[in-house]
Every structure is written in C-alpha cells, then in structure tokens.
Structure 1
C-alpha cells in the first residue's frame, strides 16, 4: 500500500465518503423499519417469536455494526484516493474497512438461515430436502466467513496490513479476490434457490393464479438479493487495488446494501397481518376484513394461535397446533380432509347414484355424484 504519485487536483478532490454514508445509513434504516414491522407482527399480533426472527434480529445488529465501522473508515479517509491520505489516515481506512467486512458478511449471511427456517416450517419439505436447505445455507455461511479468514491471514503478521511500522509478508491479493468471487457466487446461487423453491411448491397447489403469484412473489422476493450479490461480486477486484481507500468504496456500500436487501426480503412474507391491520383487507385473497381483521391472526379463546395451517409433505394443507404461520393465506377448500369430512356426514354408497349433502345453518350444500360401473363377467365393481 505504498503512496501513489501526485494526483491531478481534480482527481485528488474526489471523495466518495459522503455518498458511502448516505447509502449505507439509508438502506439500513429501511431494513430496520421492516424488521420493526416484522417484530410487531410476531410479538403484538401473533404473540409468538420463531427461530427466523432471532436470526433477523442478530443480522440487523450486525448490519448496524458494519455501518458503524464503515463510518469510522470514512472518518479516516475511506472514499478518498489513497495517495492523498496521511499514514494515520491510511492505517485507519484499511483497519476499519477490514473490520467492517465481518459484520457486513454476517448481515447478509444470517438472513438466509431465517428464510430456510421459515420455508421449512411453512412448506414442510421432506427430511432430505430440509437437510439439504440447512446444509446449503451453512456451507454458504462458512464460505463467506472464509473470506474474513483469508483477509486477515493473508499477511504475516496480520497487523502489517494497516500498521506501516510493522514489516510483514503477504500473499498475492488475488487469492482473496478469487476466493471471494467463489463465495459471492455461492451466496447469489443460494439466494436464487431459496427464491425459486417456494414458487415450485406453490405451483403444485390448488390455488388460483392470483394467489400463487402473490405468494410466490412474497416468498421469492429474495431473488432481488441475487442481483445485488452478483453485482457486488463484480466489485471484489477492488480488494487488490493499490488505491484501496477509493476503490473499495463501492464494495463497502454494496456489502451493506446486500445485507439490507436480504433482510427486507426475509421480512416481507411476515408482514401480511400488518398490511391487513393497516388497509383492512386481505391482499392475497381479495376478501375484505371486518372490523379489526388482524385479530384473526392472534390467539383464540382456547389459547391456540389462529392461522396455523401448514403444508404436509405431500403438498396438502394441514393444521399444526400452537404454530402460527404465514401460509394462512394458502387456505383452500379443495383438500382431501374437507371432502372426507363431508363424506363422513353423508349417506352410504349403496346405489348407482349417491346424493351426499351437508348443510350448515341451511347455507352450504355439497352434492357429490358417484357413478359405479360393473364388469361384464365379474361380480366385482369399480368406482370411477
């Protein structure tokens, strides 16, 4: 990190510092508002926190730590050209930028665990698929943390990277760049998979197109994080730049933007009850709520939580006692359980045509017609 040649005045005057602060603080505030809305839904409306909520809270703390370290780096001269900084400024810019990368990576790695926790709870994948989701996310997080290990281990002693009074030996900086590109690509692929997977499952359900699109969009909005991750990966070459304080500015910004984007994407599927409370209707199914519609999400008189439907491993809906999930919006009357309930209240299938009716206060009538055919030379009958 030696001094560069004297820069022209117009270049020396360039300073990305204010832009860094404006961008990272703005996106962090936005993501924090979404987290606050999520926690309001879970604590005040649903009255229950889940594992994914804790992941989101920790990632939000990490995001603000990254903002704090980035602010310290800017105060030391990050965002300005390395050649015009004093030795003290260079040391501070390098140190605080490096330290800020750790919570920055955590801020977009941990929300992936929150998404997996949500998806495995509401979509109820097979044991193998559930293990695959957790393993993929864990491997992604380990890969991302590997970037930090290489970042601090690439020089011996590590302190020599920011303390110019210490002599050290360093690896080729491109080792860190190439590994970081691998980790960034893996992160993008993970985000994409977690966004596409719910859409594939929902496509198999007996829901109208509007519901499928709305739910797929809510659960799959993490695909936006994929775009951010890919773009951020293109900025990783700045880690090997001799103009470290200026060229890494975009990487600092996009690291925090990625964390905020993943956090917002993880919060949106939980926000439906809050939207209902504010707007007074169910956006996903088009029905109007009566009175304080958000109360349908809270505990009932028996102490159980409402809206506690989840998917069985076969893709059907089933109810889980004491567990409130967002998949309340996935309700459908075309389930095997509802048909069996009607059949149990009907008549015996003793003729060629069976008329089965169930009535609830004279309001709903269901009629099923069963046609029974007989083989010509057999007493065996088949129901078609």
Structure 2
C-alpha cells in the first residue's frame, strides 16, 4: 500500500484496535451482569420493576449498539494510523466511529435520569428539589446530545465527512471540540452532585456510622463517572486531529468506560437483597433469606415509594393514646416514607406486624410531628371504698 510509505515504518504496525475491542467488550459484559442482577432483584425478589429499571435497560441497549458500531469501526481500520488505510477503510472508520458516539453519549446520559428516579424515592426531597433534580439531569442529557447534532451538522452535506467522493463545506472542527469539553464538564458536575446529595441526606439520619458510610458509598459510586468524564475531556481535542482513526481511539475507549461505569454504579445500590440471599444474612443487618420470602409482593403494597435498601435503625413511629372521658386522642409521628424498608414489612393497614417484620430488622423513617391541641377534661377517680362497693 503506498499510503503506508507516507509515515515512518515503525508506525505502520501500531494498532489500538485490539485494545479497543478488549476493553469495550469486557466492560459491556460486566455491565450486563449488573443490569441482569438488578432486574432479577426487582422482578423476582421484589416483584416490582420501576421507571429507573427501564431507564437502565435502555442505557444498556445503547451500550450494545455502541459496541456493535465500535466493532465495525475497528474492522474498518479504527485504531490504526489514518495514512495506512485505504480510501474505503478511511470512509468506514470515520462513519462507524462518529455513529457510535451517539449511543455512547446516551449510554452515560440516560443513567443519570435513572439515578434521579431512585434517589427521589428513597430521599423524599421537597417538590422544588425534585423538580430541580429532573431538570438538571434532563438538561444535561440535552446538552450532551448537542454534541451529536454538531457532529453530524458541521459539514454540509453531512456525508461529505466520510464519503470522499462528495465535496462539502465544514465548520472549524474546534467548535465541536470546545462544545464537547464544556458538555463533558457539565456531565461530570451532575454526576458529582448526584453522588454527594444522598450522602448529605444520610448524614442527617440517626443511624450508626458504619451503616451511614456503607450506604453513602453505595449511593455515591457515581463519583467514579465524574473522574472518568473529566479525564475523557482531556482526550476530546483528538476530534480535530488529522490522524482521526488513531487519535480518536482513546475517546471511544473512555466513552465506553464512562457509560458502563455509571450503569454499574446505578445498579449496585439496588442489589442488597441479592447479596443478602447469597450470604444468608443481611449485609447491614441481621436477618436471613426468610426475610425475602414474599418481599415486595404486590398483595401488601400500600405505599409505592418504598425501596428495598432495607438495613435501618429502630422504627421511631409509635402512637400514644391518652384517655379523656369518652374520647380517645392520638398523638402520632406520621411516617412520610420508609427510606430503606419494603412493602411487605407493612401489614394491610400500614402497621408493622410481628409476623411480617423479622427479628433484628429495622427501618429508617422520615417523620413529621403532628400536634393535636385539646382541653383537659377532669375525670374523678373513685375512692378505694367506692371501688370495693362500700
């Protein structure tokens, strides 16, 4: 091939293709195992599949699509130096590489929505904060998708980017690079916020430090995606490189790492029931497999916002009654949401029963004090003689 003579001989044999396939395939398989475990917990153990599960499933499908396009790009020459490729290989490498960026971006953008769907169920934020979380992640996804729009619209016609028989007019490639860097940093900031937010909520709960740290780590693993997104931003100038097929290899690898890592991080907090069943005991508590028989069944489901992370402190909700004449007045702490309990830990009337709540199992409850004002009514106690009928 004459093109191989245009670069130094020692560069001809350089090929990142095998590394691309090995890393992307391995990460996709690992992420698939975590998603399968998550769906098993939700569908089999808890008998409930929620919005966050469907979002994770869509993200995983995007990961598969990216992997397929990455394989096609490597077969066309991606990972090798651009000058060593034939015209047909150059065309295929460019086409499949930029096509793979679209599902790749969705694979780490959509899981942010799944994380919000999970956090809003277990942290019970205010309505304003709930709206903020959804707008923040949705806006981030739209900003990230802007990279795809610029990528395919920077040349007119778009196919002139990979079809060398078509002449087109293109923008400066650094416009895409600068936009992608900004979008990547915004994505990293969102991941960091979603990792820190549950830790702040857990810090204010009355549970021991060991459980607090374990839950904070489980819910804050998205911080790994923050580090990945920041590093990937340093590789984005390769989008403007004349050696496109070789220099963009790192972007492909780190896009796969970011997408699969956030999918895995989003799945880990939901897997405690599976760990408990495998280990025969509560990971953060003290009960075994018997606890999960019928766990999350729909028959006893009264409150849809319960979640299965179920290692908790003592349930503080109780009712105290004070008799006043012929009236009973109840002063209660009304639970807003069982943060880490399950539906079957409640009876049909919402109260815990001794049969349904296993020994050693506790709940974390967000509580709201309800104050009832009343006037004391004097009830005369009978004398000793009156009680004896004297």
TM-score normalised by length of structure 1: 0.81
Q: How does 1:165-180 map to 2 (within 5 A)?
A: 165-180=165-180
Map of 2:295 onto structure 1: 297
Question: Hey, what's the Cα distance between the residues in 2 that align with 1:170 and 1:120?
Answer: 44
Structure 1 pair 204–105 and aligned structure 2 pair: CA distance change class (3 A): same
In structure 2, the CA distance between the partners of 1:5 and 1:95, relative to structure 1 (3 Å rule), is same
2:207 paired residue number = 207
> What residue number does 2:347 align with?
none
- Write out per-residue CA displacement over residues 255-314 of structure 1, whole angstroms, 9 at most, x where no aligned residue: 0111100000100010000000101111123x142x5443263328xx114xxxxxxxxx
Contact 2:109 2:141 (8 Å CA) reproduced? yes
Contact 1:280 1:293 in 2 (8 A): no
Residue 95 (structure 2) pairs with residue 95 (structure 1): yes
CA shift, 1:48, in A, is 0.7
Shift of 1:127: 0.6
Q: Is 2:308 the partner of 1:344?
A: no
Q: How far apart in 2 are the matches of 1:346 and 1:326? A: 38
Question: What secondary structure is seen at the aligned counterpart in 2 of 1:90?
Answer: helix
Assess if the C-alpha contact under 8 Å between 2:41 and 2:271 holds in 1: yes
Q: Superposition RMSD on alpha carbons, in Å?
A: 2.0
Unaligned 5+ runs, structure 2: 326-353, 360-390
Unmatched runs of 5 consecutive residues or more in structure 1: 306-319, 349-359, 364-384
Counterpart position of 2:237: 237
Separation in structure 1 between the aligned mates of residue 51 and residue 150 of structure 2, nearest angstrom = 30
Q: Is the 8 A contact 1:273 1:297 kept in 2?
A: no
Aligned to 1:49: 49
Distance 1:47 1:345, change over 3 A: farther
Residue in 2 that maps onto 1:378: none
| TM-score of the pair, normalised by structure 2 | 0.80
Tell me if structure 2 keeps the 8 A contact 1:46–1:324. no
Show the counterpart of 1:65: 65
Offset from partner CA, 1:309-329 (integer Å, 9 cap, x none): xxxxxxxxxxx6244403432
Alpha-carbon spacing, 1:236–1:346, altered in 2? closer, same or farther (3 Å)? farther
Runs of 4+ in 1 over 3 A off after TM superposition: 345-348
Alignment CA distance shift 1:222-1:346 (3 Å): farther
How far, CA to CA, are the matches of 1:171 and 1:65 in structure 2? 28
1:26-45 equivalent positions in 2, closer than 5 A: 26-45=26-45
Distance 1:322 1:114 in 2: 17
Contact 1:4 1:82 in 2 (8 A): no
